[in-house]
Amino acid sequence: MSEVSKLTPVLTARWDQADSFTRRNYEKADGYKALRRALQRKPEDIVEMVKDSGLRGRGGAGFPTGMKWSFIPPQDPAEPKPVYLVVNADESEPGTCKDIPLMMADPHVLVEGVIITSFAIGAKHAFIYIRGEVLQVYRRVLNAVAEAYEAGYLGQNILGSGFDLDVVVHAGAGAYICGEETALLDSLEGRRGQPRLKPPFPAVAGLYASPTVINNVETIASVPSIVSGGAEWFRSMGNEKSPGYGIFSLSGHVTKPGQYEAPLGITLRELLDLAGGIRGGRELKFWTPGGSSTPMLTAEHVDVPLDFEGMAGVGSMLGTRALQIFDDTTCVVRATARWIEFYKHESCGKCTPCREGFWWMVQILERLEEGNGTEADLDKLLDMSDNIAGRSFCALADGGVAPVVSSIQHFRDEYIAHFEHGGCPFDPAASTLFAQELGAKA
């Protein structure tokens, strides 16, 4: 096979088309053909195919998708329980901004993925849980589902196959924690969004205590192209353990922030080249590979492959490929303090280490930022991190300590500079996009 292109638009390929979000335009681009193919096969063939493709969950954790589907237990014919598919469209991880434009521009690829996946796992009811704070995205997906019903892609006896499926598009109401899959289920059941203890895993006891598959938007949207192109085609991009393409979201101090769809394993150096480098010829200082919950990295990591193993190898995580880029005008203490304020705000309050821990951390980080801290505060922050991570029900706690631990690891001197100089040595105006307008010193 010839060398794969640097960028490989599949999910993003139609985003520049006028009215790409209508069913008519999706069908013109061969939309819903994968569904017709899939419905002629056995559901277990689809599961096998997705397993063979090696697709790993695109919501951050990277669990093999086909394997997740195969955890749905065989039905007891005497007492069949309904199986549910739930799409996690609660995109809220700081830095993550790929699912929202996907649903805005191409909601039908998600709907087609939902139908094929439901067929594969035997679900007759699927839910798309979209965060409430993105009104037009909710409108577009709601509209796409209505259009799919009109065309007979949803409802009873879909395309004469005998398969029935109903899809509900559900709006959340503002809570980061609902992106955690079991909190999402509680929220979808009309409760406070608080994570559940696992096991039982959702595949056994999920929505309404029934077997449930929960997948991220980008994961489900990848299914139609895998069905059309085949597992081998999917594997012709990326690498052995991280196959396929994914959307890389560059934000912050880059010349051209935006969405870049590429094979997994591309490096930040390559992406920065494509994005015109760091703005104004400045230097890269630190970056997150996949949202604020993935430990930050520095300029020394720009050649590490952005895939699951590569990022784990340098003590971080691929996460959601939300590459937040900060240049040398940025105060890492300020950035970290603000992230911890976020985790404090979003802690659901269920587990004491997370609820109390971030509350205390914010106060320590505030005094460090103001120049009133001491070196003992840094040790205290690390000690607290040890007592928060791994001691709560869900991964919010683990993710929340990531910026603290990694920033102290890479930038301990900068913390010290704050209390040695009696305050922040950086000019916040210099790191804005309108630095000159604000009369920045830098």
Partner 1 sequence: MTDVNDVQPDEAAISPLDDTVRAEMAEIIARYPEPRSALLPMLHLVQSRQGYVTPEGIELCAEVLDITEAEVAAVATFYTMYKRRPVGEYHVGVCTNTLCAIMGGDAIWDDLSEYLGVGHDETTEDGKVSLERVECNAACDFAPVMVVNWEFMDNQTPGSARELVDRLRAGEEVVSTRGPRICTWKQAERVLAGFPDGQATEGVSAGPASLVGLELAHENGWTAPEGGQRELGGSKK
Residues 299-338 within binding reach of partner 1 (CB under 8 A): 322, 324, 326, 330, 334-335, 338
Q: Which of 143, 239, 267, 298 binds partner 1 (CB under 8 A)?
A: 143
Q: Which of 324, 323, 282, 298 is nearest to 407 (CA)?
A: 298
Would you say 209 or 312 has its CB closer to partner 1? 209
Distance CA(107)–CA(139), nearest Å, equals 10
28 binds partner 1 (CB under 8 A): no
Cβ 253 vs Cβ 231: under 8 Å: no
Give the helix/strand (H/E) hosting 325: strand 322-327
Distance CA(277)–CA(134), nearest Å, equals 30
Name the CA radius of gyration of the chain, rounded.
Answer: 23
The first and second tokens of residue 37, run together, are 């193919």
Q: Which of 64, 230, 315, 371 binds partner 1 (CB under 8 A)?
A: 230
Q: Which of 203, 211, 206 is nearest to 83 (CA)?
A: 211
CB of 46 to partner 1, least distance (A): 8
Which 401-440 residues touch partner 1, going by CB under 8 A? Answer: 428-429, 431-434, 437-438
What are 64's strand-pairing partners? Answer: 56
Give the helix/strand (H/E) hosting 142: helix 135-150
Q: Which of 23, 26, 32, 38 binds partner 1 (CB under 8 A)?
A: 38
The first and second tokens of residue 200, run together, are 């039982």
40 binds partner 1 (CB under 8 A): yes
173 binds partner 1 (CB under 8 A): yes
66 binds partner 1 (CB under 8 A): no
Q: Which of 219, 225, 293, 392 binds partner 1 (CB under 8 A)?
A: 225
Distance CA(113)–CA(115), nearest Å, equals 5
Question: Count of residues binding partner 1 (CB under 8 A)?
Answer: 119
Which 91-110 residues touch partner 1, going by CB under 8 A? Answer: 91-97, 99-101, 104-106
What are 258's strand-pairing partners? Answer: 250
| 3-class SS of residue 271 | helix
Q: Which of 345, 387, 420, 421 binds partner 1 (CB under 8 A)?
A: 345
CB of 27 to partner 1, least distance (A): 16
CB of 195 to partner 1, least distance (A): 13
Q: Which of 177, 220, 187, 171 is nearest to 35 (CA)?
A: 220
What are 84's strand-pairing partners? Answer: 125, 212
Would you say 207 or 379 has its CB closer to partner 1? 207
Cβ 355 vs Cβ 318: under 8 Å: no
| 3-class SS of residue 84 | strand
Q: Which of 171, 205, 299, 314 binds partner 1 (CB under 8 A)?
A: 171
156 binds partner 1 (CB under 8 A): no
216 binds partner 1 (CB under 8 A): no
CB of 140 to partner 1, least distance (A): 5
Distances (CA, A) of 40 to 26, 33, 226, 240, 301: 21, 11, 16, 29, 47
Cβ 214 vs Cβ 185: under 8 Å: yes
Would you say 56 or 350 has its CB closer to partner 1? 350
Q: Which of 66, 113, 206, 257 binds partner 1 (CB under 8 A)?
A: 257
Binding segment (CB under 8 A) for partner 1, from list 56-64, 73-81, 135-143, 306-314 = 135-143
Would you say 41 or 367 has its CB closer to partner 1? 41
Q: Which of 126, 227, 381, 389 binds partner 1 (CB under 8 A)?
A: 227
Distance CA(334)–CA(318), nearest Å, equals 24
Distance CA(273)–CA(277), nearest Å, equals 5
Tokens 């040790």 belong to which residue? 379
Would you say 376 or 432 has its CB closer to partner 1? 432
C-alpha angle 307-312-317 in degrees, rounded to nearest 5: 70
CB of 330 to partner 1, least distance (A): 6
CB of 87 to partner 1, least distance (A): 15
Binding segment (CB under 8 A) for partner 1, from list 154-162, 224-232, 376-384, 385-393 = 224-232
Would you say 64 or 230 has its CB closer to partner 1? 230
352 binds partner 1 (CB under 8 A): no
CB of 320 to partner 1, least distance (A): 10
Q: Which of 45, 164, 379, 386 binds partner 1 (CB under 8 A)?
A: 45
369 binds partner 1 (CB under 8 A): no
Q: DSSP labels for 66-81?
A: HHHHHTSPPP-TTSPP
